[in-house]
Amino acid sequence: MASSIRDFVRGGGGSPGGFPWKGLLVAGAVLLALAVLMPSTVTYISPGHIGIVIHRAGGGVDNVPLGPGFHTRNPLFTQIVEYPTFMQTLVLTRANTEGSPNNDEINVNSTEGQPLSLDVSMSFELEAAKVPALYQTFRTDISTIQHTYVKQAIRQALQEVVGEEAIADVIGPKKAEATNRARALMEKRLAPFGLVVRQFTINELRAPQTVIEAINTKNVMQQQSLTAQNELQKNTFQAQGDSIKAAGRAKAIMAEATAQAKANELLARSITPTLVQYEMAKRWDGKMPMVSGGGMPMIQLPKP
């Protein structure tokens, strides 16, 4: 009996065919090994990401990245690093409630040497075909690249632009122009690494309080000067209008006087002694005037 049990355990099973215990153990070991190795031999790349294949032996990187989905690999000789290709936004600000918990504001100087602090944001995407070269260059994740190289590129572009302008212009009328010029510089410098700038915004500018007060005083004086200029121009136009009106009235009076004088001259020329006697005769009613004394008045009639 004991001999039969030993034979069964050894795989004989008490019969010539026996039970395949050894084969079952081998199959179980294989399945166990596959279960352990499967997660490392199959990699899943999430949508909106690509995979960078890194060769452990030589440290090289495949030029063609892996797209989203499942991919097999040799866990002993390769490593896969995921990089996001969807749009991301880098926020560089003094506040610790957005962006990073650190003070990431950009500090530059104007053409007068005045300090200026800026809060900015940049939205960008990674060009998938260039991501392997990006990793080959920096050998780190995209978040670290953003807060090192990209941040420095933004600061350099802003310094080149703001450094050519007066601080009052950057804060005021030339803010949009400075933003566009800085974005153009960043696009040119980041494009070779596959970083495509989609949007760049200067959210806030901070200058020293003394500079702000000086700018406000200058603006008030300019406004007052403009008001005085407008008032002077208004008075000048009014004076010109009054002068034109006076000249018109004088001309009208002169014309009227000239006409009256001419009329008087013509009238004077037309009045003669004969005409006067004729008019008197026309108006005589044939009655002799009543006079005192015995003399008879003499009426001289016009000569024929």
Residue 166 amino acid letter: A
> Do 77 and 118 fall within a single domain?
no
* Residue 269 belongs to some domain of the structure: no
What's the confidence (pLDDT) of residue 286? 65
What's the confidence (pLDDT) of residue 12? 46
> Do 80 and 29 fall within a single domain?
yes
Q: How far from chain centre, in Å, is Cα 67? A: 36
pLDDT (tens digit per residue) in 183-238: 999 999 999 999 999 999 999 999 888 777 766 666 556 666 666 576 667 767 77
| 161 burial via Cβ count (<10 Å: 0-12, 13-18, 19+) | buried
> Do 67 and 92 fall within a single domain?
no
* Residue 72 belongs to some domain of the structure: yes
Confidence of residue 83 (pLDDT cuts 50, 70, 90): very high
131 and 52 Cβ atoms separated by less than 8 Å: yes
Q: Name the strand (E) or helix (H) holding 127.
A: none
| 195 burial via Cβ count (<10 Å: 0-12, 13-18, 19+) | buried
* Residue 301 belongs to some domain of the structure: no
Domain extent for 74: 2-84
> What are the residues whose beta carbons fall under 8 Å from the beta carbon of 56, sequence distance 6 or more?
76, 77, 78, 79
pTM to 2 decimals? 0.61
* Residue 213 belongs to some domain of the structure: yes
Question: What rounded mean pLDDT belongs to the chain?
Answer: 79
48 and 68 Cβ atoms separated by less than 8 Å: yes
* Residue 281 belongs to some domain of the structure: no
**Which tokens sit at 96?**
């610790």
* Residue 23 belongs to some domain of the structure: yes
> Do 29 and 123 fall within a single domain?
no
| DSSP character string of 40-107 | HHEEEEPTTEEEEEEETTT--B-SS-B-SEEEE--TTTEEEEEEE-S-EEEEE-S-SSSS-SS---EE
CA-to-CA distance for 88 and 141, rounded, in angstroms? 14
> Do 135 and 188 fall within a single domain?
yes
Q: Name the strand (E) or helix (H) holding 163.
A: none
Say which residue, 6 or 99, is predicted with more confidence: 99
What's the confidence (pLDDT) of residue 175? 93
pLDDT (tens digit per residue) in 261-304: 776 666 666 666 666 666 666 666 666 666 555 555 555 555 55
Domain boundary, last residue among 84, 100, 123: 84
Residue 35 has pLDDT above 50, yes or no: no
> Do 92 and 195 fall within a single domain?
yes
> Do 104 and 157 fall within a single domain?
yes
Confidence of residue 20 (pLDDT cuts 50, 70, 90): low
| 196 burial via Cβ count (<10 Å: 0-12, 13-18, 19+) | middle
Domain boundary, last residue among 157, 184, 207: 207
Say which residue, 267 or 257, is predicted with more confidence: 257
Domain boundary, last residue among 186, 207, 228: 207
* Residue 44 belongs to some domain of the structure: yes
CA-to-CA distance for 104 and 195, rounded, in angstroms? 20
> Do 98 and 155 fall within a single domain?
yes
> Do 213 and 202 fall within a single domain?
no
> Do 203 and 231 fall within a single domain?
no
Say which residue, 125 or 254, is predicted with more confidence: 125
Domain count, the chain: 3
* Residue 256 belongs to some domain of the structure: no
> Do 117 and 76 fall within a single domain?
no
Percent of the chain beyond pLDDT 90? Answer: 42
> Do 114 and 213 fall within a single domain?
no
For tokens 């009328």, the residue is 173
User: Which CATH number fits the domain that encloses residue 157?
Assistant: 3.30.479.30
pLDDT (tens digit per residue) in 109-153: 999 899 999 999 999 999 999 999 999 999 999 999 999 999 999
